[in-house]
Amino acid sequence: MNKILNLECDARHAESCSRKLALAIEKNTWVQLLPKQGEQKVIPNNLIPRGGGVVISSGGSCGGPHQCLHPSTNLDQSAIATGHWLQKQGFNPKDSVIFNPLPLSHVSGLMPWWRSRLWGAEHNWLTPSLMRNPIALNKSCQSLFKKKIGPLLISLVPTQIQRLLSHPEGLSWLQAFDVIWVGGSTLSEKLAEQARNKNIHLAPCYGATETAAMITVLDPTAFLEGKTGCGNPLIDVDLRLNQSGALEVKTERIASAILKNGSLKSIIDSNGWWQSGDLAKLNLENNLYQLEIIGRLDTAIHSGGETVFPENLESKLLGTAKTIGLPVQFLVFLPVHDNEWGQRLVTLVKWESDLTVNEHQEQIKKLQCITNNWHPAERPLAWYKCNELAPNEAGKFERSKWEDWLKENH
């Protein structure tokens, strides 16, 4: 029977965790990357296939949370494809200096480390506490910035970019990078425009745990010139849309299986295609597909005959609120049942500092003013103050958790 190493990935001790992972991979062992003890169902040894690789949690691009099994060859192929893209940008992957602020238990934290091993590039972990302190963050990285001989690379989520952009030291830090891959959630038009105005080299991308991270990416030059969307497929990826408009992906690095309901299941069809959980558009330009994500199928709601995508609205509202100086730290749109509409949206809001009841009401009125010209189905029915609201370490909101909070508190 094959044995699996269950590795708890504490972001505060990422260096020691990655050393343990490296040793296990060298021994051709399977490793399950656990976010925190008890948070994830551990896979029994009798379900583990031969060879070695990683088992990593997915929020579920389609079909709900599950664990993905990726043999080491999948992760190698992903790193090779990303390295090929870098070479097309004029960079030598081996000369890269990679910074990594995301947890090892998330595919966007695992892959920067894995790329560094395959490319022979320098890798630097950034702790969560450092990412929350722009002054210390910028100071701690200066020596590496000054001695660089190749590109400075990092993967961030939009909430991290938004927070850093609002601070002079954070802005200076962002401007030092040659490529900032950004994914995980929608990049709002407002945030994209702010980044362009400050000459920040964002590279919006699209990927999933099931695909071993990014499968399309927009190059920073095109982004700075005003191009939108998630760019072109990487060299090892084919894309298409099914009859419902959902994005389908074909690549040799699709997860070999997922663990769901106590058994391992394949997620590709007989021809090797995997259906994602996103509605998309594929625009053909210069014989290359340009990917545009419309919204997630699993969070879309149907309200008054309209299909509404909460994550897009969150990004849109937060970007506008930040632009006009409203003290919003986080917000989440959640569905509630409505007899007439079917479903309506309500909003949880966390302010940057604790507000009095009157201050809260005044700020809510300003948010309502922003949404007054939105389609009726998109306008929140109610607004709730939620001091506990926060994304997980990967920058995503665990919606079921906040739906439970809403039921318990309102």
Where a domain ends, among 265, 296, 327? 296
58-62, 95-99, 195-199, 214-218: range with lowest mean pLDDT? 58-62
Residue 10 has a pLDDT of 84
How far is residue 64 CA from its own chain's centroid? Answer: 16
Is the domain of 195 the same as that of 149?
yes
**According to the model, what pLDDT value does residue 1 have?**
53
DSSP character for 80?
H
3-state DSSP assignment of residue 279:
strand
pLDDT confidence bin for 58, thresholds 50/70/90:
confident
The residue from 274, 296, 318 where one domain ends is: 296
Region 379-399: what's the mean pLDDT?
A: 89
CB neighbourhood size of 321 (10 A): 19
Number of separate domains in the chain = 2
58 and 147 in a single domain? The answer is yes
| Residue 215 shares a structural domain with residue 164 | yes
Residues 181 and 153 occupy one common structural domain: yes
Asked which of 296, 321, 354 is the last residue of a domain, the reply is 296
Q: State whether 269 and 372 are in the same domain.
A: no
Mean pLDDT over 42-64 rounds to: 74
Read off the CATH number of the domain in which 30 is found. 3.40.50.12780
CA distance 304 to 237: 38
pLDDT digits (tens, 9 = 90+) for 119-151: 999 999 999 899 999 999 999 999 999 888 899
The pLDDT tens digits of the residues spanning 145-187 come to 988 889 999 999 888 998 899 899 999 999 999 999 998 777 8
Backbone φ and ψ for 96, nearest 5 degrees, come out as -65, 150
Which range marks the domain in which residue 289 is found? Answer: 4-296
Please tell me whether residues 364 and 326 are part of one structural domain.
yes
Which has more confidence, 178 or 189? 178
Same domain? For 244 and 138 the reply is yes
pLDDT tens digits, residue range 210-254? Answer: 999 999 999 999 999 999 999 999 999 999 999 989 999 999 999
Question: What is the pLDDT averaged over residues 97-123?
Answer: 95
**CATH number of the domain bearing residue 367:** 3.30.300.30
Q: Same domain for 325 and 405?
A: yes
The mean of the pLDDT values for the chain is 91
Residue 61 — pLDDT band, cuts 50, 70, 90? very low
Question: What's the pLDDT at 180?
Answer: 98
